[in-house]
Amino acid sequence: MGAYDSVIEALATAAREALVREIDADEAWAADPVWREAFAAVPRHLFVPYYYVGVRGGYERRWGESPDPEARERWVRGAYADTPLATRLRDGELLSSSSQPSLMARMLAALGVEDGDRVLEVGAGTGYNAALLAHRLGDDDLVTTVDLDPEITESARQHLAAAGHRPAVVTGDGARGVPERAPFDRIIATCGLSTVPRAWLAQCRPGARILTPLATGLLALTVHGREDAEGRFLPRAAFFVPLRGAGRTEAPAVSLSGLPGRAREQEPFHFLLDLTRGALDPAEAHALWEREGCPDRERFGVTVGADHARAWLDDPDGPYAWPLP
């Protein structure tokens, strides 16, 4: 290792320690502090050899192999910022990213991973999340990560190997799961969905937990059988690159024009609109929103059965329930 490489490694170590302290302050892993050691150990910069930051008029590429020493230092410091990093663009469209670390910590803590669990990650991204899981479980073979894009899976595989991990990296449609690696005790998705793929339930053991983004929220489901699951949303908003493949549902834009300003400004109201899309129009959703006292995300849940998937407010058997797409 050259002298300048030693400088970069020292910067990475200091930046990683600062990131862990920042997540500590945010109490992101309060539900399961064991994740602190994983974030302290896994080098995020190995998973983002380059990334893009927004600048006026487009994006600036930061690259770990830049010939400019100052640019390399900006790259390594940015790799440990508590922000999402755009890692793959195509014709201006964001295809893949590394999620905000504090959000990753919240999701992993909420997943409730236990020693010996077999975990499926849907959305391989850079491979960083799979590395955190592999470090936590202490056995790479317990972790499977899947992505539709072979370029993404190949780069994730390379990043994982550079960090000393070799979980199963599968190229395929995440909505179909990975049946050859089932059964799973935990499934975590790092891409946006509009419904819960039933293939996931069939690949889970009874009592398994699924954590998935849905309608700008994070849904935590408990699996009761091969076709049944139920759970509620976590309090925090979450925005992810949409799943690509058979499980993706294109959603038409919703116009909020004509609604009172307070509804337009309340982000949880947008969550309600997304969750009830196709079942309620904006005016109906606004009336419900006002009537129920501007409900937060944790008052909503989802039930998945053999022939239905529905969202609900407060009570799965109550008066407010809507079919998911």
Task: Give the single-character DSSP code of 235.
Answer: S
> So what's the pLDDT on residue 87?
92
Selection from 279, 222, 285, 238 nearest residue 259 by Cα: 285
More confident residue, 143 or 90: 143
Domains and CATH numbers, the chain: 3-233 (3.40.50.150), 261-323 (no CATH)
Per the residue annotation, which of 66, 96, 98, 194 is the catalytic one?
96
Residue 75 has pLDDT above 70, yes or no: yes
Taking the chain, what is the end-to-end CA distance rounded to the nearest angstrom? 53
> Which CA distances in Å does 156 have to 120, 126, 142, 247, 288?
15, 5, 17, 22, 44
Beta strands in 162-203 (DSSP E): 168-171, 184-189
Selection from 85, 91, 95 nearest residue 61 by Cα: 85
Model pTM score: 0.91
Decide: residue 185, CB within 10 A, 0-12 exposed, 13-18 middle, 19+ buried.
buried
pLDDT per residue as tens digits for the range 112-164 = 999 999 999 999 999 999 999 999 999 999 999 999 999 999 999 999 999 99
Residue 96 has pLDDT above 90, yes or no: no
Instruction: Record the tokens describing residue 194, joined without a space.
Output: 């509009």
Q: Compute the mean pLDDT over every residue in the chain, rounded to the nearest whole number.
A: 90
Taking each continuous run of H as one helix and of E as one strand, the counts in the chain are 10, 14
pLDDT > 90 in the chain, percent: 75
pLDDT tier at 93 (50, 70, 90 boundaries)? confident
Q: Is 6 a catalytic residue?
A: no
* Angle 290-295-296 from CA coordinates, rounded to 5°: 145
Helix (H, G, I), strand (E, B) or coil at 179: helix
